[in-house]
Amino acid sequence: MERVLSSDLAAHVGELVTIQGWLHRQRRLANVSFLVLRDRAGLAQVVLAEPVELLPETVLEVRGRVVTEPQLEVHDAQVAVLAQPAEQAPLELHRPQPKEIHTPKLVGAATEGGANVFRVDYFGRDAFLAQSPQLYKQAMVGVFERVYEVGPAFRAEPHDTGRHLSEFTSLDAELGFIRDHRDVMTVTEACVLAMLEATGPIPVVHFEDVRSGDEPDLSPEDERRICAEHGELVFVEGFPTAKRAFYTHPDPDRPAWSRGFDLLYRGTEIVSGAQRLHRYDDYLTALRARGLDPASFAGYLQAFRYGMPPHGGFAIGLPRLVAQATGLGNLRETTLFPRDRSRLTP
């Protein structure tokens, strides 16, 4: 059943609906129990068929019937827990409208793997230039539900290619209460089609069906071939979990394949995205499985201790999108004052 936002309940009076959000408040009377559920649009009052004991900020899915007497509420509700906070949050959280965020570019850990990260001497300590706002945008889903950021990303790319720069503008988005990566792809599609003034739908192929032989990733030649066979814009989903970053959600039925995707445009990847892990324990397992120390991600992992909804997001590489749209091809042509291996001025 499609999720209904709290602000749309009035349009569903008499119907069975599904709403999702955080437990904002709860109240128990002698023979009835009330919850107030908060989503990005506002609050919904829920009257429970059976009382439940839940921590504040538990992430919930509620099914019930919309009534208007004595007021607009969801009655006979069944409650399912989507994510359980490990402990009560230290402060009360309120979540207004979707927000543009600006996150630090000097950071303490590599988010996209350690291979192409710029190291900085930070008052005698090691710091890094942010490869992406990944961990921050995820944490802010727990506050605003939907966030986006337009900002610089830094990659110490050893390759001298027309598709890699050391610094580029990344258009990042992250959204909560998704079912799986397909919901993220729907938002990606709307966003990219609007930017390109193009029409969809964009075809989706599975990695297994388009890779060359047993290769664990797509080569630039593969990307060109896939677009030649399937269209200008093509989603590839289901990349091998081992090849994606640790925060990527595996396909629950076949964990070797992930819920990560790329969007190819005229033969080149311009977007990466995925559903993310959202449970604290899953992060500990995923980090350890990759030989990464959970201690260096402690600040990030903290967000997952207080109840994060299922979420996902994507990043559009702006110079790549422009290079493909204009036919210029080389990112040095679409970036003001480009930075690459040999260029640090002007």
Active site residues: 155, 157, 163-164, 269, 272, 320
Residue 20 is a binding residue for ligand AMO (CB under 6 A): no
Residue 271 is a binding residue for ligand AMO (CB under 6 A): yes
Show the binding pattern over residues 134-153: x = contacts ligand AMO (CB under 6 A), - = does not: x-------------------
Residue 310 is a binding residue for ligand AMO (CB under 6 A): no
β-strands 106-107, 119-122 pairing: unpaired
Closest distance to ligand AMO from the beta carbon of 208 (Å): 20
Nearer to ligand AMO, 26 or 134 (CB): 134
Residue 4 is a binding residue for ligand AMO (CB under 6 A): no
Contact 37, 23 (CB under 8 A): yes
Choice from 148, 168, 265, 300 touching ligand AMO (CB under 6 A) = 168
Positive/negative CA dihedral, 100, 236, 287, 276: positive
CA distance 146 to 140: 8
Residue nearest to ligand AMO (CB): 317
Choice from 73, 181, 317, 334 touching ligand AMO (CB under 6 A) = 317
Closest distance to ligand AMO from the beta carbon of 53 (Å): 36
Which residue stretch of 46-54, 89-97, 118-126, 165-173 sits at the interface with ligand AMO (rule: CB under 6 A)? Answer: 165-173
Residue numbers of the site for ligand AMO (CB under 6 A)? 112, 132, 134, 155, 157, 164-165, 168, 170, 269-274, 313-315, 317, 319-320, 331
